[in-house]
Amino acid sequence: MQGRALLIGNWKMNKTVEGSAGHARTLIRALEDWWDPKLVQVVLAPTALAIAAVGRILAGTDIAVAGQNLELGTEGALTGGISGYLLYEAGARWVIVGHSERRQHFAEDDALITEKVKAAWQAGLNAVVCIGETEAERNQGATERVVRQQLNLLLAGPLKGGLTIAYEPVWAIGSGRVPEPEEVAEIAAIIHGEVGARWPEAENRVAVLYGGSVNAKNLGGFLNQADVGGALIGGASLAAGEMAAMVRAAQQEGPRAR
Ligand code: PGA
């Protein structure tokens, strides 16, 4: 039986407001007539500046909008900050938390990321938390330890909203290198195992995605793995045609129901 795949396009610091709006329109046209949202759920994460414009264009479609980050709190004295409350108001229903670029360049640690997830839930947003090992950690054989450690605080409290976990090996992001689908399946099984151990009743509600150099050619291989429910896509999501090709691949190939 085929489950529902989740594809999230993370545009990072790319595209103007105008360019983001144009991309959303092109994607709607490219999916017209054949895309089945019951088989593939599509979420787009433009820059914060473009969320409102993209959200207006996507209103009435089944494509949802995500923030790429959030700050704690709702409103207040935090120059440059954007809270979950403000993202939701602008039209987002999802938010990416703890992407490796934020862990690396903004020193986000597991404690802050856990607080951000709680803040996302408070604002009514589905949280997509990114975890994954660096190349050095992989070479030391520490992948499993790192993944379990990154889940530890996150899964310590109760599940109070939508949670998706994206396994993104840091060395695979933007590099064109990907792990074997079977390696991803092993990590996905570990993640599902940890979630099941902490939240037995919620195990089926937490999806695990793969992220890192995903494209229309390699996506099917990941979705064919039993525990992988979709993908978080950076570079390849920037072209509407490639994004549509990935939706098509996901619709044809998976994921397999657990
Ligand atoms: P990439 O990025 O697809 O360009 O490797 C993935 C990500 O950073 O989420």
Ligand 1 pocket, 234 CB below 6 A?
yes
Q: What's residue 79's pLDDT?
A: 98
Q: Which domain holds residue 166?
A: 5-253
Q: What's residue 258's pLDDT?
A: 44
Ligand 1, atom 7, residue with closest C-alpha: 234
Query: Residue 237 C-alpha to ligand 1 middle, in angstroms?
Result: 9
Ligand 1 pocket, 168 CB below 6 A?
yes
Query: Residue 214 C-alpha to ligand 1 middle, in angstroms?
Result: 7
Q: What single DSSP character describes residue 181?
A: H
Residue 81 lies in a domain: yes
Q: What's residue 256's pLDDT?
A: 55
Measure the CA–CA gap between 66 and 56, rounded to whole angstroms. 13
Count of domains observed in the chain: 1
Q: What's residue 203's pLDDT?
A: 81
Which residue in 18, 112, 10 sits closest to 70, CA to CA? 112
Q: Which residues make Cβ contacts (< 8 Å) with residue 197, sequence separation at least 6?
A: none
Contact between 174 and 235 under an 8 Å Cβ cutoff? The reply is yes
- Angle at which helices 51-58 and 17-31 cross, to 10°: 20
Which candidate in 108, 133, 168, 194 is catalytic?
Answer: 168
Query: Residue 213 C-alpha to ligand 1 middle, in angstroms?
Result: 6
Residue 186 lies in a domain: yes
Q: Please report the atom of ligand 1 found closest to the CA of residue 100.
A: 8
DSSP string, 141-161: T-HHHHHHHHHHTTTTS---S
Is this structure's pTM higher than 0.95? yes
Which candidate in 99, 101, 108, 133 is catalytic?
Answer: 99
Annotation marks residue 194 as catalytic? no
Give the tokens for residue 45: 């994460």
- Which long-range CB contacts under 8 A does 216-222 form with residues at least 24 apart? 216/242, 216/245, 216/246, 216/248, 216/249, 218/178, 219/246, 219/249, 219/250, 219/253, 220/249, 220/250, 220/252, 220/253, 220/254, 221/181, 222/181, 222/184
Kindly list the averaged pLDDT for each block of 10 residues, start to end, along the chain of length 258.
85 98 98 96 98 97 98 97 98 98 96 98 98 98 98 95 97 97 97 95 91 97 94 98 97 70
Residue 10 lies in a domain: yes
Helices (H), the chain: 17-31, 51-58, 84-90, 100-105, 110-122, 135-139, 143-152, 181-198, 219-223, 240-253
Specify the DSSP element, H or E, that contains 96: strand 94-97
Query: Residue 200 C-alpha to ligand 1 middle, in angstroms?
Result: 30
Residue 258 lies in a domain: no
**98 residue type, one letter:** G
The CATH number of the domain holding residue 236 is 3.20.20.70
Residue 147 lies in a domain: yes
Q: What's residue 3's pLDDT?
A: 76
Annotation marks residue 168 as catalytic? yes
Q: How many Cβ atoms are within 10 Å of 158's Cβ, its own excluded?
A: 10
Residue 110 lies in a domain: yes
